[in-house]
Structure 1
Amino acid sequence: MRTVRIGAGAGYSGDRIEPALELAGHGALDFLVFECLAERTVALAQLARQRNAEAGFDPYLAERLQTVLPACIAHGTRIVTNMGAANPLAAAREAARIARSLGLKLRIAAITGDDVTDLVRARPESPLVETQGVVGDVADRMISANAYLGAWPVADALAGGADLVITGRIGDPAMFLAPIAHSFGWPRDDWRRLGCGTAVGHMLECAGQVTGGYYADPGLKDVEGLARLGFPLAEVAEDGTAVITKVAGSGGRVDAAICAEQLLYEVHDPARYMQPDLVADFSRVTLAYAGADRVTLAGATGTAPTDTLKVSIGYRDSFVGEGEISYRGEGAGARAALAIAIVRERLELTAAPITELHVDIVGREPGEVRIRVAGRAATSRDAARIGREVEALYTNGPAAGGGARSVVREVIAVVSTLIDRALVETSTTWIGT
């Protein structure tokens, strides 16, 4: 039976790059997928795009492509990635520039349409999914609203001859389902096999998590070679069954226990895992030993998708102010406690509009004790008052304080809503080198 080999080159934006090169060079892959987009990442990317029209894509796109493109082109490996983030078109242009600098010919497809900010703003009555309330509650602070696209725009781009497909927000498993379904010509309503492909995608989407990363627990679940952890690949058969494995000799391991943890990761209901292309059912999945670092994945299925797509909304929530200072030597603990009491009283005396005040004490006598005071405020100026009060302890607090620092950071929060899938239109832009 014919198989397709597909590898996971990243599980998040800041992931290691060396394992992807290992896969590109030694994995004998048909496809290499870089999954780099978290919910909050899109909103941050949208802020970057607002500052610079040619920004808003993954900051490591250039480094990743410069590293893996030569090996991928040499071995005939095609790339799918959501590193387009808030600006897939600019990402595609940057990818073309990199390919030209390497002397490589590349056919690039940029898929857009996930940005549904205007559609969501126009529907303030739409309920939020995870929390009480409606879109109108955050509309005036909204930064971005991106629908989770499905596999078929990517599959169509691959059918059109794309060597590299760049998207924005897309369902994580859909990035893997797309090249698998394209390779085998699966019908778009073959829910059983699409469920199998979705299970493969879910298994690979977090990269190193299925080779022992985020699993290791010394003495309980030991994993060797985490410093040179290899990323996973799947050998997928036309009937949807797959073997999860990794490049021979790479660090980490693949076994049924690790795969089982990943299978349940972020899945609320294994029998109804809602994705853009179908409602997947993992409740009858089997994981079987198929040799060293080889696990057979089978038994997934699915049903038709819902009429809606999930939309991730990023919005400006608040500001967090922090202040830290250290005390050392005999009596350091008592001086740290006094410092905390002073800061609390100062914030009360000045009626600082601070909520959710938290205090941490790190260390113990006779060494160094460091305090951290943090709280939330509606404005940057109010949040900064926390750090100012902590720094004021230099000359207005206990003896021998040092190493004070303060910081204010904006909190970008995420909520979700649903949108009629018929309203979401995708578009593919082609760029060649």
Structure 2
Amino acid sequence: MAVRIGVGAGFAGDRIDPARDLAERGELDYLVFECLAERTLAYGHLQREQDPARGYNPLIEKRLAAVLKACVSNGTTIVTNMGVANPRAAGRVAVELARRMGLRIRVAVVEGDDVSAQISGSTLLPEIGKTVDESGLRLVGANAYLGAEAILPALDAEPHLVITGRVADPSLFLAPLMHRYGWKPDDWPILGAGTVVGHLLECSTQVTGGYFADPPYKVVPNLAYVGFPFAEVEADGRAVISKLAGSGGCVTELTVKEQLLYEVHNPAAYLTPDVSADFSTTGVVEQAPDRVAVSGATGRPRPEKLKTIVGFDGGFLAEAEFSYAGPGAVERARLASAIVEERMRTIHRCSETIRLDLIGVNALHATAIQRVAQTQDVRLRAAMRTLDREMAQTLLAEVESLWVAGPAGGGGYRGSINASVTTHAVYVDRDSIGLKVEVLQS
């Protein structure tokens, strides 16, 4: 009988109601919440610095509260990387939640991805060609991308919930398939096939019409209620991607093909901690409405080293906005932009990079596309990353001063200063990872 594996989230801020629907009606064996990106992880380290009891996904309690009862009742195992920078604390939150809900559950916590102790001042950051010390950045944490093998011992404990830190996105889906079918960690073709399934599911609604929609060329029905996907996976790696009847969105040959190539630089060598997956041989066939069969993917030996994300304190991100409307709005906004730039450089001696955009004219393309704007409604946005909070506050003050000291007809000021992070990738040896699985019970 095929394994049914569904998606509870595709990023940290994903919707919750489609996960509840899938947990209640999906008849799933596994429900996977993929909620971790590079910056999400770095922010987790900053939060844990401020409070050792934090550092996990702040929505973990809300997400689990929506699905836990149904998953326990239906025999669905939850797998998630919502542990972020503090999986053990996340496990305690899950156990306490289960107690309040009157549920008895086992939570397997997977640790070992945190390799901060292996990063030193002499560690080279290849992306910028400098060592950590030379970068001048303050390290907040480093985490290796673990693979499916890290989750297998946790699944052996027959838990209701597995919580990890940084595990590669498709590996969260591959691990349950390896566990259920007994796939070997060096059976590269089958691991490649399983990785394709994980890759298709990991971004939740992107394979059911989200991000795909582009009217009038690509019309997606009932997108406001787009459903999360699930896969029916056979022991030989063949799978069918689908969604719940009555949910919005669609699963078609095109949605699957677009997601198959999403963030893939080389379809013949998609590198994960588990395998070098080859998507180039994948067949995609639409069997029925919202049922697309996927087969034929393969794989080759996995990379020797594990990619590791090193997070740094990026200081403060200052953002301020101001609007201009009516005839000449673009010209007035450009004058306002020049005023802010001049005062920040000349009067305040600011040497930081300041991003000045006209939203509605060139905010996304910046200087890549130059054209005469016809708009009568434009918003100036000024942004700067700095380690100096006072300088960040100065940028906000200069934009706000445009109320009376700038061009005519401006208004709608908003400003904010938020914590910022930056990340860089390095590579560590596999044998330097020390895995640990701890089982907690409610």
2:416 is equivalent to residue 404 of structure 1: no
Deviates more, 1:341-350 or 1:246-255: 341-350
Separation in 1 of the partners of 2:350 and 2:79? 49
For residues 251 and 333 of structure 1, the distance between their equivalents in structure 2, rounded to whole angstroms, comes to: 40
The aligned counterpart of 1:265 is 262
CA distance in 2, matches of 1:373, 1:310: 34
Letter matched to residue 189 of structure 1: D
User: Match of 2:48, as an amino acid?
Assistant: R
Kindly indicate whether the alpha-carbon contact (under 8 Å) linking 1:191 and 1:278 is maintained by their aligned counterparts in 2: yes
Distance in structure 1 (CA, Å) of the matches to 2:400 and 2:166 = 42
Question: Counterparts of 1:173-322 in structure 2 under 5 Å?
Answer: 173-322=170-319
Hey, what does 1:171 align to over in structure 2?
168
Note the C-alpha offset of 1:369.
Answer: 4.8
Contact 1:329–1:365, Cα closer than 8 Å, also in 2:
no
- Of residues 47-56 and 324-333 in structure 1, the stretch that sits farther from structure 2 once superposed is 324-333
Shift of 1:105: 1.2
What SS class does the counterpart of residue 290 from structure 1 fall into? Answer: strand
Match of 1:83 in 2: 82
Give, in whole Å, the separation in 2 of the partners of 1:365 and 1:71: 54
Report the Cα distance in structure 1 between the residues aligned to 2:344 and 2:136, rounded to whole angstroms: 31
Asked if 2 retains the 8 angstrom alpha-carbon contact of 1:212 and 1:223, the reply is yes
For this pair of structures, how many residues does the alignment match? 430
Q: Which residue of 2 aligns with 1:132?
A: 129
For the residue of structure 2 that corresponds to 1:66, the secondary structure is: helix
How far off is 1:366 after superposition? 10
Looking at structure 2, the residues matched to 316 and 413 of structure 1 have their Cα atoms a distance apart, in angstroms, of: 6
| Structure 2 CA distance for aligned equivalents of residues 356 and 397 of structure 1 | 18
Whole-Å Cα distance in 1 between the matches of residues 360 and 183 of structure 2?
56
Equivalent residue in structure 2 for 1:384, among 382, 393, 403:
393
Deviation of 1:335 (Å): 4.4
Secondary structure class of the residue paired with 1:326: strand
Q: Amino acid of the residue matched to residue 423 of structure 2?
A: V
Contact 2:358-2:378 within 8 A present in 1 as well: no
- Larger CA deviation: 325-334 vs 246-255: 325-334
Q: TM-score scaled by structure 1?
A: 0.93
Return closer, same or farther for 1:47/1:319 CA change in 2, 3 Å cut-off.
Answer: closer
- Match for residue 108 of structure 2? 109
The separation in 1 between residues aligned to 2:399 and 2:81, in whole angstroms, is 42
Residue ranges of structure 1 left out of the alignment (5+ in a row): none
Bigger CA drift: 74-83 or 348-357? 348-357
Backbone CA RMSD of aligned residues: 2.1
Task: Decide whether aligned partners of structure 1 residues 66 and 272 sit closer, same or farther in structure 2, where only a CA change above 3 A counts.
Answer: same
2: distance between equivalents of 1:208 and 1:275?
22
- Equivalent residue for 1:7? 6
Counterpart CA distance in 1 for 2:186 and 2:406 is 69
Shift of 1:315: 1.0
> 2 CA distance for matches of 1:296 and 1:137?
50
TM-score normalised by the chain length of structure 2:
0.91
How far is 1:140 from its partner? 4.5
Question: Which region of structure 1 is more displaced relative to structure 2, 104-113 or 354-363?
Answer: 354-363
Compute the displacement of 1:274 (Å): 1.2
Whole-Å separation in 1 of the counterparts to 2:384 and 2:129: 24
Aligned to 1:71: 70
Aligned partners of 1:138 and 1:315 also within 8 Å: no
**1:9-58 deviation line (CA, Å, top 9, x unaligned):** 11001111111111111111000000011111011011111111111111
Query: CA, structure 1 residues 353+422, in 2 after alignment: closer, same or farther (shift >3 Å)?
Result: same
**Contact 1:352 1:385 (C-alpha < 8 Å) held by counterparts:** no
Contact 1:319/1:383 (CA < 8 Å) preserved in 2? yes
Q: Which residue of 1 aligns with 2:366?
A: none
SS of residue in 2 equivalent to 1:121: coil
SS at match of 2:130: coil
1:322 CA displacement: 3.1
Q: Give 5+ residue unaligned stretches, structure 2.
A: 362-372
**Structure 1 residue ranges, 4+ long, deviating more than 4 angstroms after superposition:** 327-335, 361-369
